[in-house]
């Protein structure tokens, strides 16, 4: 689809500022879907690649089987004290409900337990971390799309009633609210039309989404947080030998000689997407996940040859007609040096999250019966290691200048 100037201009109209701020500390709280953590890591990687100068830390406090009353990690007050309040968050996201409905038809007593327990969580957090912004996430989807429901309406209908409760609690308590359920159901419905077998793999056990499903959820959270759509945009005019428009990027050494060449330094990196993964591709096709937050355009007017090869740092990334370049091309979906750099950020984010999980579950909690002095020394060392990893994340997320060339193919 052509990246026309009017679309870019509309994209950059004044919008609300991004929800997260410098030095925020985000705690993701929830059950096994949060513990799996893919949507959390996607959000962290997006923030790093789009805002490399912001210093925002992320903590995953999800625990499999959790309900509003607690679970395997202890009762709700123990969980909140140890795994949320002690982390001194400025932002807390809460996603609970999948287990609270007991995987049974709607039951009024169960519903009231959910409502009362959820309000208790909010009361404690408002009292203990009064400055924190609370983001309530409606329970994620149970797949009644690809597998026939066991009763009329199915279990996801129960979760939708719980979602309505979350809406009400958000209004009553002045919290933000984000819907993961309906967007995932919509994606499943469309995916089933495109690839019935592939759609079944997006939530293979009907409860726990694969990473492709988490991509849809992460996209919804980022959009709710007013994440910027644009990575960068550059428009060149060969007739004038000049930059016609630029957004989120700087250009030097611009030259035109049948083709064009220039050095470009963007403010941010694109978010890397694994288009070669069939289920990721299906999730993107069915929902537009992340792609509508990942616009990186190049437009060149006034070229004369019918076709051009685009090289970045002497690496061929695509071939385009003169008309395609006139209309504008999207490069975030190509294997560019910028995307390759962004993958390094993703890998380092995965390492940081894995280390944090081991520190929390295996040492802080798992070795709580071991000598406090030795355990505390190990925890301090791991805290220092995490800070070193975070520093490396930011180094990897810092954009570099790249040499672009448009070379006529004949």
CA–CA separation, 19 and 44 (whole Å): 13
CA–CA separation, 25 and 393 (whole Å): 16
Sheet containing 57-62: give its strands across.
57-62, 25-30, 91-95, 133-137, 176-178
Of the candidates 405, 395, 398, the one whose C-alpha atom is nearest the C-alpha of residue 267 is: 398
DSSP code at position 334: S
Out of 4-18, 35-49, 81-95, pick the least confident: 4-18
| Buried/exposed 56-77: b ≥16 CB within 10 Å, e otherwise | bbbbbbbbbebbbbbbebbebe
Share above pLDDT 90 across residues of the chain, in percent, rounded to a whole number = 93
Backbone angles phi, psi at 175, to 5 degrees: -105, 160
Higher pLDDT, 14 or 109: 109
CA–CA separation, 193 and 218 (whole Å): 23
For residue 7, the model assigns a pLDDT of 54
| Buried/exposed 289-317: b ≥16 CB within 10 Å, e otherwise | bbbebbbbbbbbbbbeeebbebbbeeeeb
CA 140 to chain centre: 15
Q: Give mean pLDDT, residues 33-45.
A: 98
CA 94 to chain centre: 16
pLDDT tens digits along 108-140: 999 999 999 999 999 999 999 999 999 999 999
pLDDT tens digits along 224-234: 999 999 999 99
What's the burial of 276, exposed, middle or buried (CB within 10 Å: 0-12/13-18/19+)?
Answer: exposed
Would you say residue 13 has pLDDT above 70? no
Single pTM value for the model:
0.95
pLDDT tens digits along 339-396: 999 999 999 999 999 999 999 999 999 999 887 888 999 999 999 999 999 999 999 9
Q: Give mean pLDDT, residues 242-266.
A: 96
What DSSP line would sit under 42-66, residue for residue?
A: HHHHHHHHH-TT---EEEEEE-TT-
Q: Give mean pLDDT, residues 272-290.
A: 96
**Cβ distance 99 to 34 under 8 Å?**
no
Band of the pLDDT at 5, cuts 50, 70, 90? very low
Of the candidates 287, 311, 268, 294, the one whose C-alpha atom is nearest the C-alpha of residue 399 is: 268
Band of the pLDDT at 4, cuts 50, 70, 90? very low
For residue 9, the model assigns a pLDDT of 47
CA–CA separation, 40 and 28 (whole Å): 7
For residue 8, the model assigns a pLDDT of 52
* Complete domains list, the chain, with CATH: 19-224 (3.40.50.1110)
For residue 6, the model assigns a pLDDT of 47
CA–CA separation, 228 and 316 (whole Å): 28
């Amino acid at each position: 689809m052509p990246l026309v100037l009017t679309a870019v201009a509309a994209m950059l109209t004044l919008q609300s500022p991004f929800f997260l701020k410098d030095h925020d500390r985000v705690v993701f709280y929830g059950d096994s879907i949060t513990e799996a953590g893919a949507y959390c890591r996607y959000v962290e990687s997006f923030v790093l690649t789009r805002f490399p100068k912001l210093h925002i830390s992320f903590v995953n406090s999800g625990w499999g089987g959790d309900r509003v009353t607690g679970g395997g990690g202890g009762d709700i007050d123990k969980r909140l004290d140890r795994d949320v309040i002690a982390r001194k968050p400025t932002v807390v996201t809460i996603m609970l409900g999948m287990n609270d409905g007991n995987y049974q038809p709607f039951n009024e007593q169960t519903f009231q337990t959910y409502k009362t327990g959820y309000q208790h969580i909010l009361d404690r957090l408002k009292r203990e971390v009064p400055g924190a912004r609370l983001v309530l996430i409606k329970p994620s989807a149970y797949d009644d799309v690809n597998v026939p429901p066991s009763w009329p309406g199915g279990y996801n209908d129960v979760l939708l009633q719980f979602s309505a409760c979350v809406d009400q609690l958000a209004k009553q308590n002045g919290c933000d609210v984000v819907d993961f359920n309906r967007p995932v159901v919509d994606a499943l419905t469309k995916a089933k039309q495109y690839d019935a077998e592939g759609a079944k793999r997006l939530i293979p056990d009907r409860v726990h989404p694969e990473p492709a499903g988490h991509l849809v959820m992460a996209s919804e959270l980022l959009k709710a947080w007013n994440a910027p759509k644009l990575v960068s945009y550059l428009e060149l005019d060969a007739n004038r030998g000049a930059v016609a428009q630029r957004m989120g990027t700087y250009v030097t050494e611009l030259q035109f000689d049948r083709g064009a060449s220039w050095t470009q330094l963007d403010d941010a990196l694109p978010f890397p997407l694994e288009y070669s993964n069939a289920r990721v591709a299906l999730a993107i096709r069915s929902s537009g996940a992340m792609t509508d937050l990942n616009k990186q355009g190049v437009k060149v007017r006034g070229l004369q040859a019918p076709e051009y090869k685009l090289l970045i740092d002497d690496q061929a990334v695509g071939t385009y007609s003169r008309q395609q370049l006139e209309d504008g091309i999207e490069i975030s979906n190509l294997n560019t040096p910028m995307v390759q750099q962004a993958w390094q950020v993703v890998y380092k984010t995965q390492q940081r999250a894995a280390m944090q999980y081991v520190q929390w579950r295996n040492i802080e909690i798992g070795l709580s019966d071991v000598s406090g002095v030795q355990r505390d020394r190990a925890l301090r060392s791991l805290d220092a290691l995490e800070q070193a990893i975070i520093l490396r994340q930011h180094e990897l997320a810092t954009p570099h200048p790249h040499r672009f060339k448009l070379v006529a193919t004949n």
